[in-house]
Structure 1
Amino acid sequence: MIQVGDVVVSLDIFREKFLCDLDKCHGACCVEGDAGAPLELNEVTQIEKALPQIWDDLSLKARGVINKQGVSYVDEEGDMVTSIVNGKDCVFTCYDDKGCCFCALEKAYRAGKIMFCKPISCYLYPIRIKDFGKVKGINYNRWDICKSAVIKGEQANLPIYKFLKDPLVRKFGAEWYRELELTAEELKKAGYI
């Protein structure tokens, strides 16, 4: 672990390679797992504001869940997460004609319909954030469904911190990211990565 600003960063963020491979995984991270995606409190409001623009892209079951419990709930660990359908799919999942899962929020964002892309926990995946009070920690979350992304990342020689530049800048700022890049250079010189 190394500290960059007020963020403790796992060395895996620098060492491990990653590049999403939707052709192979079909967006399984949006439908696998036992809870929805972690949310920050301000994100719930942003998602609620975006609902009218994405409503037609949501499944009937997802609309029913949202009408009943809202866009989020508190999971067994006490964290705010996106609501899910049938204990599995995030309510914001939608599918293309090939069965590949996409986020309705991100789809609307890319089309210029909304200003909110998607929850930062989704945007940062496979990085997970842990709040330690005065500092935050970021760590690489390994998951079997992402094996093809690891292979593709190794082929492209793309470290996680470079793959996730945009979401890292969104979360921590451009200045922090520049410091992260400088840290990576120092770690390379010292032989740690």
Structure 2
Amino acid sequence: MIQIEDIVVSFDVFREKFLCNLDACKGGCCIEGDAGAPVELDEVAKLEEVLPVIWDELSPEARDIIEEQGVVYTDEEGDLVTSIIRGKDCVFTCYDEKGCCYCAIEKAYREGKVDFYKPVSCHLYPIRVRDYGPYKAVNYHTWDVCKAAVLLGRKENLPVYKFLKEPLIRKFGEDWYKELEIAARELEARGMI
């Protein structure tokens, strides 16, 4: 691991390769798992703000759950996460005509209808950020759902940190990302990645 400011970064973020392959996975990361996507407290208001814009995109089940419990809930580990349908699908998940799922929030953002992209934890995936007191840890998360993304990332030789440049800058800032790139070059020069 290396440390940049108060953030500790796993070597896997530099070593592992990743490039989403939606044709293969059909957006499985939005519908698999046992809890919703982690949400930061300040993102709850943003989720509620975009809700009227995306409401008609959401399934009737998603709308029912949002009306019942809201856009987020606290999971078994005490984390704030997006509400889910039947214990798996994120309430913001929608499907296209090919059966590929997409995020209704991201779609609205790309269409210029809202100024919130989606929860930063979704944007950062397959990186997960954890708080450990005065430090944050940036770790690469592996999951069978993303096997095709790993294979495509290896084929294209795209490290996780490069694939996630935009969300890493969103989360930690441009200066921090520049330090991350410097660290990557140093690790590569030393043969550590």
TM range (shorter): over 0.9
The corresponding residue for 2:107 is 107
Q: CA RMSD in A?
A: 0.4
SS in 2 for 1:116: coil
C-alpha distance in 2 between matches for 1:123 and 1:183: 22
For residue 154 of structure 2, what is the amino acid of its counterpart? Answer: E
Aligned residues: 193
Query: What is the alpha-carbon distance in structure 2 between the residues aligned to residue 110 and residue 125 of structure 1?
Result: 18
- In structure 2, the residue matched to 1:151 is 151
Q: CA deviation at 1:5?
A: 1.6
1:82 is aligned to 82
Supply the AA of the counterpart residue of 2:148.
S
Aligned-pair CA distance for 1:135 = 1.2
Q: Could you tell me how far apart the structure 2 residues matched to 1:184 and 1:71 are?
A: 37
Q: Which residue of 1 aligns with 2:18?
A: 18
Deviation at 1:15, TM superposition (A): 0.2
Query: Equivalents in 2 of 1:105, 1:5: separation in Å?
Result: 31
For 2:175, the equivalent position in structure 1 comes to 175
Structure 1 equivalent of residue 56 of structure 2: 56
Q: Is 1:27–2:22 an aligned residue pair?
A: no
- How much does 1:161 deviate? 0.1
Look up the equivalent residue of 1:92 and give its one-letter code: F
Tell me how far apart the structure 2 counterparts of residues 64 and 181 of structure 1 sit (CA, whole Å). Answer: 44
Gaps of 5+ in 1: none
Q: How far did 1:158 drift?
A: 0.2
* Equivalent in the alignment of 1:162: 162
Distance (whole Å) between structure 1 residues aligned to residue 77 and residue 158 of structure 2 = 33
Unaligned runs of 5+ in 2: none
Q: 4+ runs of 1 displaced by more than 4 Å? A: none
Cα deviations across residues 89-131 of structure 1 (Å, max 9, x unaligned)?
A: 0000000000000000000000000010000110000000010
Write the distance in 2 (CA, Å) between the matches of 1:44 and 1:22: 27
2-structure distance, mates of 1:88, 1:163:
26
User: TM-score with structure 1 length normalisation?
Assistant: 0.99
Q: Percent identity?
A: 65
Provide the rounded CA distance (Å) in 2 between the counterparts of 1:120 and 1:21.
20
Deviations 1:162-191 (A, max 9, x none): 000000000000000000000000001111
1:134-160 per-residue CA deviation (whole Å, 9 max, x = no partner) reads 110000000011000000000100000
**3-state SS, counterpart of residue 8 of structure 1:** strand
